[in-house]
Structure 1
Amino acid sequence: MTSRLPEPKPIFTPGSAVEVSPDEPGFQGSFYLGTVISHHSSSSDSYLVEYKTLVTESSHPLREEVGFSQLRPPPPPEAKWVFGMGDEVDVFHNDGWWQAVVTADFGNGSFEVFFAGYKEQMEFPKKKMRLHRDWVGGIWVPQVEEDEQEQKLQMGMQINGSKETVEEKFIKGAFVEVSSDEDGFEGAWFGATIVESIGKDKFLVEYQSLRTEDEKDFLMEEIDILHIRPCPPDTVSVGGFKLLEEVDCLYNDGWWVGVVSKVLGDSRYIVYFKDTKEEMEFDRSEMRLHQEWIDGKWAVASQV
């Protein structure tokens, strides 16, 4: 029997949207949306996250140190769900997602669900429910299955990259990246969440790291479709990044494209930024392989 090396843990880089499962009594099995603030390289299992719905006594977003085992990506957004009796679902309750089982369909868009851990039944509208999935070995179980309409959308994007089909991909709650034409921000991408669609080609987004002037809330802004793209897929750079490899670096709350100009060792790199003609040092946890969103597909620099 051939032995298999364990798969490397995915790295939740600063700025990544995540769901956190608290380990406090009474919260087991629940998940809360948050953003990774930092990853302590001295301890690969420790992350600082900021919650989206949990706040401190002073009404500021709660920050907490959590372990790698408590983190997972947010489940993929889906345009529609069909719930039936006995289906395992998550329901949004008390600022988090809690696992339950559908016990009744009232026929008016509302369902009765049963929380096995607490032996309680409650009623929830469909908009506060989602199919329950587990994050196992880097994949979702059950897997996400694209319906016929979704497959047509994908085909439309691959054939002609039309604006209409791309628009329909950005549904409410989808995690995206947003660019800006403002001076000094060209080429940078910032993580955000789609709040709602505005007209045919604009969206209201809420940034995951940019805040309002009073620092109390995450910044919300109207963005046109030409400045929105899906979040790039996670990639594993085996053995680290190479000299002259094109990368994105997390700096000033956004991802900026640069080129590795020197490999320092110990997961540290010098990166050159062509637009500003500057070099800066980064840790591997603050970097990712640069990818381009072209005609509805992701391509690394060598494929462009």
Structure 2
Amino acid sequence: MQIGFVGASDIGEALLPLLPPDTSMVMLTVEDATARAAAGTLQLLIVAPDCPSWRSMAERLQPLQAIAEANPFPVFALVPRADPQALVQAFDMHCADCAWLPVDPMEVRARLAALVRRRRVALTRAAEVRKAWRVATRDAVTGLFNRHHLERVLPQAIHTAHRENRILSVLMTDIDGLKRFNDLRGHLAGDVALRRVAEAIEDNLRPADTVARYGGDEMAVIMPDADRAVAAAIAARLVAVVASLGLGCYGPEAERAPLTLSVGMATLRGPGCNADSLLARADQALYEAKRQGRNRANAAA
């Protein structure tokens, strides 16, 4: 773990022999520390005054404190024993721990070791939570969000659209020819092709859009603030992009199984429209796209 230090260089040098094992320290300016905090790369910070009073130091640290509220990290403050208010001010700044200056090596070594242990536990737990969240919300084959996540966020998106009088559209997509592709080339190759299509869809959506694997080779896209025209333009682009991949178009004639995309789209209408009815309309439009010859997009009535 790399520990950041902001303060007087002589204090920083004195701390180096007191660092816990498997840690290092880098000297930072307040601006450097603020940038690292904003980027989420500051794991632990030590601050010590390099100006006449702790109050002056605290004022300089205010931009860093504001960022720490959004990207929390522990701060270890070294405060002058001669300044009775310094300790109170440090804890008012939500410092995780404090020690007096001049440095007591035994005290600082023990407090730093405890802070590093707690920080490592917190980082490990955060990583485990992120992993569990990914397992719970992501599809294992495509890496897209799964149906469970879609069924949780779509009603929320519809509620927001109704409340704020905004537009919302949904796309339902289906890969044409995947069953024949799997029969000819095997399910492992089919999974690779499914991932390629999923990546192509995800790469050609807007940042605000959410795509999820709905089931089998079907994927659903939630498109906030997208009217019928915007949804149609993006749906047409997805059809063209997937066709341009040329999946299943090569090899011996008997093994060719071209993969294309059919898309159905539906736009939110009226306060009575909910997630089930919106998806049903998009699914019906998808069925019509397939009935009309596949490799195309179709809008719900």
- TM-score class, shorter-chain normalisation, is under 0.3
Query: Quick one: higher RCO (CA 8 Å, sep 6+), 1 or 2?
Result: 2
Which structure's residues are more often helix, by fraction? 2
- Structure showing greater radius of gyration is 2
The normalised TM-score by structure 2 is 0.18
The normalised TM-score by structure 1 is 0.18
Which structure's residues are more often strand, by fraction? 1
